[in-house]
Amino acid sequence: DVKVTQSSRYLVKRTGEKVFLECVQDMDHENMFWYRQDPGLGLRLIYFSYDVKMKEKGDIPEGYSVSREKKERFSLILESASTNQTSMYLCASEDNRGASGTQYFGPGTRLLVL
Partner 1 sequence: GEDVEQSLFLSVREGDSSVINCTYTDSSSTYLYWYKQEPGAGLQLLTYIFSNMDMKQDQRLTVLLNKKDKHLSLRIADTQTGDSAIYFCAESSGYSTLTFGKGTMLLVSP
Which parts of this chain interact with partner 1 (CB under 8 A)? 4, 33, 40-43, 45, 48, 50, 56, 58, 90, 92, 99-108
The CB-of-105 to partner 1 minimum distance in angstroms stands at 3
> Please, which residue, 17 or 110, has the CB nearer to partner 1?
110
The CB-of-84 to partner 1 minimum distance in angstroms stands at 19
The CB-of-56 to partner 1 minimum distance in angstroms stands at 8
> Please, which residue, 77 or 88, has the CB nearer to partner 1?
88
Of the candidates 71, 67, 110, 63, the one whose C-alpha atom is nearest the C-alpha of residue 93 is: 71
Strand partners for 88? 37, 110
**What phi and psi values does residue 36 have, to the nearest 5 degrees?**
-120, 145
> Please, which residue, 69 or 101, has the CB nearer to partner 1?
101
Long-range contacts of 97-105 (CB under 8 A, 24+ apart): 97/30, 103/33, 104/2, 104/4, 104/25, 104/27, 104/29, 105/4
> Please, which residue, 40 or 62, has the CB nearer to partner 1?
40
Of the candidates 10, 19, 9, the one whose C-alpha atom is nearest the C-alpha of residue 67 is: 19
The CB-of-89 to partner 1 minimum distance in angstroms stands at 10
